[in-house]
Amino acid sequence: MKPRRSVLPFKGVFLASFSLLLSSAVVLAADEPAGTSKPAAAPSQDEMTKAWTAYATPGPGQKALEAVVGSWNVASKVWMAPGAPPQESTGTSENRMILGGRYLEQRYEGSMMGQPFSGIGVTAFDNYKKRYVATWIDTAGTGIMVTTGAADKAGKTITSWGTMDDPGMKRTVKVKTVVTIVDADHHTYESWSSGPGGKMMKNLEIHFTRKK
């Protein structure tokens, strides 16, 4: 049986060159005057290959994202101001794992404030950072929202933090998001943003129900 490559050829060449560069730096440092700090010894090629392999290999963190894979009916509530009644809308979401099970891709279609609304999200479990990283883009803006967070011990709730721009108020606001796996056919997404005085206010609640 032909052995599988642990890293892409390009990465292997890059890492080998990088290793030689660091090794040269260590040799040069040996000639420095006493008392000067010396860089740590460079990891071996084998150590770097193992590290990159672990970084690129899907594991439990990615497996947990499969709980929300599928076709979903969506009901959402949006609060435009504190104390104001929410604006409600419906839509659909198609979620799938991409790039060999490394990332979750979400494609949403619905409406917002009576207008068609589309959005695309990509969520990863970063094996190096040991945290979830989520990005979101949609037709209501031209920026990218990025949040990072972690799951609870049960693996049912992912709480993340990030920032997003508020062009209306000409400021950047703090954002908190919470994804909760209710059961195999239901999950929720909630978000809060910082308002006047920095107080966090809930602005979005989405309920996902698996299509039958």
- What would the pLDDT profile of 102-138 be if each residue is shown by its tens digit? 999 999 999 887 889 999 999 999 999 999 999 999 9
The residue whose two tokens read 């490559």 is: 5
Half-sphere exposure of 179 (CA within 13 A, CB side): 19
Asked if the structure places residue 175 within a domain, the reply is yes
Question: For 140-194, how does the pLDDT look when each residue is reduced to its tens digit (9 = 90+)?
Answer: 999 999 999 999 999 999 999 999 998 988 889 999 999 999 999 999 999 999 9
125, part of any domain: yes
What's the pLDDT score for residue 35?
Answer: 57
Are both 39 and 118 inside the same structural domain? Answer: no
Task: State both tokens at 17.
Answer: 């060159």
CA geometry: angle 177, 95, 166, nearest 5 deg: 35
158-188 per-residue burial string, b: 16 or more CB within 10 A, e: under 16: bbbebebeeeeeeeebebbbebebeeeeebe
Q: Residue 38 has what pLDDT?
A: 65
The pLDDT tens digits for 60-114 are: 999 999 999 999 999 999 998 877 899 999 999 999 999 999 999 999 999 887 8
Using only the alpha carbons of the chain, give its radius of gyration. Answer: 23
> Among residues 57, 76, 92, which one ends one of the domains?
57
Verify that 131 and 39 share a domain, yes or no. no
pLDDT for res 34: 54
Do 176 and 71 belong to one domain? yes
Whose CA is closest to 146, among 181, 118, 180, 121? 121
| CATH number of the domain to which 73 belongs | 2.40.128.20
Has residue 6 got a pLDDT over 70? no
Please tell me the predicted confidence (pLDDT) of residue 169.
Answer: 83
| Residue 26 confidence (pLDDT) | 35
Q: Looking at the structure, tell me whether residues 126 and 169 fall in a common domain.
A: yes
202: CB partners within 8 A, 6+ apart = 79, 190, 191, 192
| 135 assigned to some structural domain | yes
8 has a pLDDT exceeding 70: no
Q: Tens of pLDDT along 28-43?
A: 334 445 555 666 788 8
User: What pLDDT is recorded for position 80?
Assistant: 84
* Last residue in a domain, options 39, 57, 75: 57
- Identify whether 1 is part of a domain: no
